[in-house]
Structure 1
C-alpha cells in the first residue's frame, strides 16, 4: 500500500512549516518505513491500514509536544489486493513509457 500525506500544522505563527514536516517525516524514519519527501507531500509504503493509524497518532503526539493544538492531515491511499505496490515500481512504469 502506498500512502501520500500532507501534515499541515495550524497556529504556528509562521508561514514556514518545514520544522513540523521534518518532525512528521522522522516518525516514518523511526518506524523504519520506506518514504520519499516531495515538495508538496511525503509518500510512504505500509503493509496494512492499522499502520496508518499508528503513524498518524505518533505524528499527532509529536505536534502536540511542539505546542501545536491543531493539525490537518491530507491523506491519499493507493491500495491493491492483486499485487504489492511499491513506489519505485510505479515511477519506473511511467518513466519506461516516457522513454519508449
Structure 2
C-alpha cells in the first residue's frame, strides 16, 4: 500500500506560523522506519504493509504532538494488494504515458 500523509501541529504559539521543526521530527520517524518513502514540500509518501505503514504514521503524528496543542493529519491511501515498488512504479508509468502522448502528437 502507498500512503501520502501530511502532519502538522497547530496552536504552536509561533508568530511566524512555522512548523518545520515539528515536520522534521515526523520525517525523522519515517526515515528511521526503513520503509520506502519520499518527502516533498507538501506530503510524505510511504510504502509497505498496512500495519507497518500505519504504525509509522501514528509514530510520526506522536512526534509532532509536543509542538502544539493540536495535530492535523491529512492522509490518502492507495491499497493495492499484491503490488510493491509502486512508490516509483506509478511515476515510471506516468512518464511512459507522457512520452507516448508526446510521440503521438509529434507524429500528427
**Same-fold status (TM-score > 0.5):** yes
Structure 1 spans left out of the alignment, 5+ residues: none
| Stretches of 4+ aligned residues off by more than 3 angstroms | none
Q: What is the alpha-carbon distance in structure 2 between the residues aligned to residue 83 and residue 67 of structure 1?
A: 36
3-state SS of paired residue (1:26): helix
3-state SS of paired residue (2:62): helix
Could you tell me which residue of structure 1 aligns to residue 32 of structure 2? Answer: 30
3-state SS of paired residue (2:73): strand
Could you tell me which residue of structure 2 aligns to residue 39 of structure 1? Answer: 41
3-state SS of paired residue (2:5): strand
TM-score after normalising by structure 1 = 0.84
Deviations, residues 58-93 of structure 1 (Å, cap 9, x unaligned): 2233224x3433111111010112533511100010
Q: Are 2:56 and 1:59 aligned?
A: no
Larger % of helix: which?
2
Shift of 1:2: 0.5
Larger Rg: 2
Q: Is the 8 A contact 2:9 2:71 kept in 1?
A: yes
Structure 2 spans left out of the alignment, 5+ residues: 101-108
Could you tell me which residue of structure 1 aligns to residue 106 of structure 2? Answer: none
Q: Is the 8 A contact 1:5 1:42 kept in 2?
A: yes
